[in-house]
Chain A
Amino acid sequence: MKKVAVVGVGETKFSGPQEKTEVELFAEAAMEAITESNLKPKDIKALFIGNVLGDFAEGQGMVQSFAAENIGCLYVPANRYEGACASASMAIRDAFIWVASGYYDIVLAGGVERAATMGTGLATRTFAMFSDARYEYPAGITFPAVFAMLTHLYADTYKIPLQKLREQMARVSIQSYKHGSANPRAQFFGKNADMTVEKVLGSFMVSTPLTLHDCCPFSDGAATVVLASEEVAKKLTGKPVYITGTGQSSCGPLGNQSDYLPRIRAREISSQRAYEEAGLKPQDIDLCELHDCFSIASLIATESLGFFDYGTAGEAWEKGEADIGGKIAVNPSGGLKAKGHPIGATGAGQVYEVVKQLRGEVEPERQVEGARLGMTDTLGGDGGTLVNMIFERGW
Chain B
Amino acid sequence: MEQKLIFKDYNEALKQNKLLGLKCRDCGAITVPPKMVCRQCASPDMEVVELKGSGKIRTFTTVFVASEGREDEIPYTIVMVELDDGPWIMGNLEGIDPKEASMELVGKKVKMGNKVFPGDKYSAGEGARPLFSLV
Contacts and interface: CB of A to CB of B under 8 A. Distances in A.
B134 interface: no
Interface stretch (A9-17, A132-140, A321-329): A132-140
A139 B122 contact: no
A206 interface: yes
Contacts of A151: 61
Nearest to B65: A206
B60 A152 contact: yes
A291 to B, nearest CB: 19
B80 interface: yes
B64 A205 contact: yes
B41 interface: no
A297 B15 CA distance: 35
Chain A contact surface mostly: helix
A63 B91 CA distance: 36
Contact of B90 (A120, A129, A136, A210): A136
Contacts of B70: 125, 140
Given A124-B66, A152-B106, A255-B87, A134 B7 contact: yes
Contacts of A141: 78, 90
Interface stretch (A142-150, A184-192, A278-286, A303-311): A142-150
Contacts of A125: 67-70, 120, 122
B21 to A, nearest CB: 12
A140 B122 contact: no
Contact of A135 (B59, B82, B90): B90
B88 A139 contact: no
B122 A253 contact: no
B80 A149 contact: yes
B41 to A, nearest CB: 13
Interface footprint category on B: 35 or more
A128 B70 CA distance: 12
Contact of B64 (A121, A136, A137, A207): A207
B129 A253 contact: no
A119 to B, nearest CB: 8
Interface in A79-127: 120-122, 124-125
Given A121-B71, A139-B90, A140-B78, A156 B103 contact: yes
A134 B71 CA distance: 20
Interface footprint category on A: 35 or more
Contact of A255 (B69, B80, B106): B80
Contacts of B68: 121-122, 124-125
B39 interface: yes
Interface string B74-97: 001010101000011111100000
Contacts of B90: 135-136, 139, 141, 253-255
B77 to A, nearest CB: 9
A153 interface: yes
B64 A124 contact: no
Interface in B16-47: 33, 35, 39
Contacts of B33: 132, 134-135, 253, 255
A156 B106 contact: yes
B64 to A, nearest CB: 5
B88 A133 contact: no
B62 interface: yes
A70 interface: no
A272 B68 CA distance: 38
B49 interface: no
Given A125-B67, A152-B103, A139 B92 contact: yes
Given A124-B67, A134-B33, A255-B80, A208 B62 contact: yes
10 contacts: A121-B66, A124-B68, A125-B70, A138-B128, A141-B78, A142-B65, A149-B59, A149-B78, A205-B64, A208-B64
Q: Which 5 A-B pairs have the closest CB atoms?
A: A121-B68, A148-B61, A138-B117, A125-B67, A138-B129
Given A255-B88, A258-B80, 11 more contacts: A121-B68, A124-B66, A139-B130, A140-B67, A140-B76, A141-B90, A149-B78, A149-B80, A153-B58, A156-B59, A207-B64
